[in-house]
Structure 1
Amino acid sequence: MDDYLKSKFVGAVLGAAVGDALGKAVEDLTEEEVIEFYGDRIRDFVSPHPSSPAYGQLPEETSDETTIFRILLESLVESKGLDIKDFLNRLIDWYNREETHRYPDPMLLTAIDLLSRGINPSSHGLVSSSVEGILRSVAMGLFHYYNPELAAEGGKVVSLLTHRGNVISETSAILSALIAHLVRGDFLLEDFRERIRLIEKLKEYVKDEKVKKVLDKVSELLMESADLDTAIMTLGNGTFALEALPLAIYIFLSNLDNPEEALYQAVNSYGEFGGDTDAVGFLVGSMVGAYWGEEAIPYHLRENVENSKKLRELAEKLYELTEKQQLSLS
């Protein structure tokens, strides 16, 4: 088995968790509040600011965004593939253990409650565009890395289970396919032209012209060599999936010469008005790890993030499962 590919699986999983843990400390804070409280942008695990939703958590702890991601990884590994019923049952079990929750997405809780009672969330008009609904699809990008088209479809399935809506469908497809392409190394992104070509490829996984136009904005910002503040003002940095995901893609692609800086920009993407920094951190961390491997994630962060050993084990088992399935098909 390819150790470098395995490193990419581990890097994507641990990178996502590290980005989440770092970013949770300053979620919803303004730049002024961050600098006043911490003295500078954050570059390590810190206690969450009193105004952060994560206030009271330990510095290295992750949010429920990583928890849901981990639950899907466990389901994939133990079921030896995607078993949506098993994934749902695990979500219901987590839902019932309220004492373990860490400021979860209210839409997620409502959807799981309805599903646990055999009710289709769509029948209650439950439509969401929260980026929290698509983060788990990183797992499908890994599991189906050998086939980005299949990865995109798998990402839709696991995301739309609880977060219904066109935005979720389109952005989960983009994220899953992107992770697959990064693991495969289909684009040599150190070449600027390849970055634009990657974005053009991602547009092939969506149908909505509005979504394609947002991806075009990412390309335009790259060609302008825009700074982070300009990117935030242009794309947004909120919970809306069509803000957080394009911003994360921009941050990743604009820091190919320094992946560690990409991670730090992501978790400090609060801007003047505050943003969903843990989600953006999760996304960029997963991209950095998927492209460069775990060595691109600072050692002390990937080793000390909550559940590091468990997440590494799941990533390695998912890689081994994927490779075995590949061998059986060849």
Structure 2
Amino acid sequence: MTGTPQDRAKGAILGAFVGEALGVGPHWHYDLKELRRCHGNWIDDYTTPEPGRFHDGLKAGQNAQAGFILELMLRSLIERKGYDEANFCKRLDNDLFPLLDGSPRSGPGHYTSESIRHAWHRRMVQKQPWHNIGGAADTTEAMERTLAIAVRYAAEPALMSQAISNNTALTQSSETMLSMGVGYGCILARLVQGDALDARISQQPLTWITTGALSFEPVTTCREAPDHPELPLRAKRHIVRDALHAASDIAAMAGDPGVHIEPAWKISHLYGMPCAFYHLLPAVYYLAARFSDDFESAVLHALNGGGQNQSRAMLTGALVGAQVGLGGIPQRFLNGLERADELQQLADTLTSQMPG
């Protein structure tokens, strides 16, 4: 673990943008022979999508829609000096939804995920209020934007957990998704604070649960959740404890000399290549723990595993970026990332607002 919390926070933010952009070209190849035919035996840099593929029209180094929404979140957090749900929702209403038409292949990045399409339909067609928008998608879109919340509130677990829960619930109403999002946020927050991604990574978050520091009630108790006056508490009952134990167990496996997964990209075959969180998160935790000091290896193995490799690389990039800091991200990835200077300035501003 290197640098200050601010440097690790910048690494997490830029690592997410890098991972997401790396997935633009080879996204959603479930036939690995076809993936290799299109992009070679080992993808090691940004690529341009082939005609007719997802994100067709983007160029190598550009971000797709997850990156677009993450940037909206960053700008909202910066402008409001913290999570302001009304401001973030206004940005979706004004800056994202007018660019969509409800179909998958529309909008920034030329592809719109299921949860965002559902939110667009409920909001723009049915004219529903934001508190009645969330759908049942079991994918990781919310984690891909709330990772910025985890970074911003890395030292403030009550605000972090409540903001992640509330923001996730805007588009995904499942309590399981809220739990997984808070769990991922807790792990990322501890990495920003300097913990190692090993078998002990969940110790502090589990202590937060025991002491009531997280803004929700565990399902194993009858204790009421501690509301925070700055945020509305939309969802009170989560199973974050299991999400945290899973991260520790997988991190321990990554460091176990008796476990051999070679090459490492085959972790996506072990846990599954599809889009649901229960396929993606175990692979993300494994790669981020195994390559804790090697950003390039982590994101490239996430990428070369095929399937939903864009989300896998984005979430892995955030976790490893938080471990190596901004300086640990290879310069060639930053040089090749479109608008990298502007994105880094956003990360600089966000981290300047973090409590000392």
Q: With the length of structure 2 as denominator, give the TM-score of the two structures.
A: 0.79
| Cα distance between partner residues in 2 of 1:121 and 1:82 | 16
Contact 1:152 1:175 in 2 (8 A): no
* Mean Cα deviation higher: 101-110 or 281-290: 101-110
| Cα distance between partner residues in 2 of 1:131 and 1:310 | 25
CA shift digits 1:202-242 (9 cap, x unpaired) = 67686268756754762574232433355323322321012
| Cα distance between partner residues in 1 of 2:324 and 2:293 | 11
Is structure 2 residue 144 aligned with structure 1 residue 135?
yes
* Mean Cα deviation higher: 177-186 or 150-159: 150-159
| Cα distance between partner residues in 1 of 2:345 and 2:283 | 30
Q: 1:100 to 1:108 in 2, by over 3 A?
A: closer
Aligned-residue offset at 1:38: 2.3
| Cα distance between partner residues in 1 of 2:190 and 2:302 | 21
CA shift digits 1:18-71 (9 cap, x unpaired) = 111111211121321122222222111111234631122101111100111110
Is structure 2 residue 239 aligned with structure 1 residue 236?
no
Amino acid at match of 2:351: Y
The residue aligned with 2:348 is 316
Aligned-residue offset at 1:151: 2.2
Which is richer in helix? 1
The residue aligned with 2:37 is 36
CA shift digits 1:168-189 (9 cap, x unpaired) = 10111012111110111023x4
| Cα distance between partner residues in 1 of 2:248 and 2:7 | 31
* Mean Cα deviation higher: 83-92 or 97-106: 97-106
- Aligned with residue 161 of structure 2, among 143, 152, 166: 152
Contact 1:214 1:242 in 2 (8 A): no
The residue aligned with 1:192 is none
Give the % identical residues. 22
Is structure 2 residue 290 aligned with structure 1 residue 248?
no
Q: 1:180 to 1:61 in 2, by over 3 A?
A: same
- Aligned with residue 200 of structure 2, among 197, 215, 228: 197
| Cα distance between partner residues in 2 of 1:72 and 1:229 | 30
| Cα distance between partner residues in 2 of 1:3 and 1:35 | 37
CA shift digits 1:236-257 (9 cap, x unpaired) = 2321012212211111101125
The structure, 1 or 2, with the larger RCO (C-alpha pairs under 8 Å, 6+ apart) is: 1
Amino acid at match of 1:108: I
Q: 1:210 to 1:174 in 2, by over 3 A?
A: closer
Q: 1:55 to 1:82 in 2, by over 3 A?
A: same
* Mean Cα deviation higher: 258-267 or 199-208: 199-208
Is structure 2 residue 114 aligned with structure 1 residue 111?
no
Contact 1:95 1:109 in 2 (8 A): no
RMSD: 2.7
Amino acid at match of 1:317: T
**Ranges in structure 2 where 5+ consecutive residues have no aligned partner:** 101-105, 215-237
Contact 1:25 1:49 in 2 (8 A): yes
| Count of residues in correspondence between the two structures | 313
Aligned-residue offset at 1:17: 0.9
Aligned-residue offset at 1:100: 4.6
CA shift digits 1:124-156 (9 cap, x unpaired) = 883121111221111111111113454233222
The residue aligned with 1:282 is 314
| Cα distance between partner residues in 1 of 2:240 and 2:316 | 24
Q: 1:144 to 1:123 in 2, by over 3 A?
A: closer
| Cα distance between partner residues in 2 of 1:184 and 1:213 | 19
* Mean Cα deviation higher: 216-225 or 98-107: 216-225
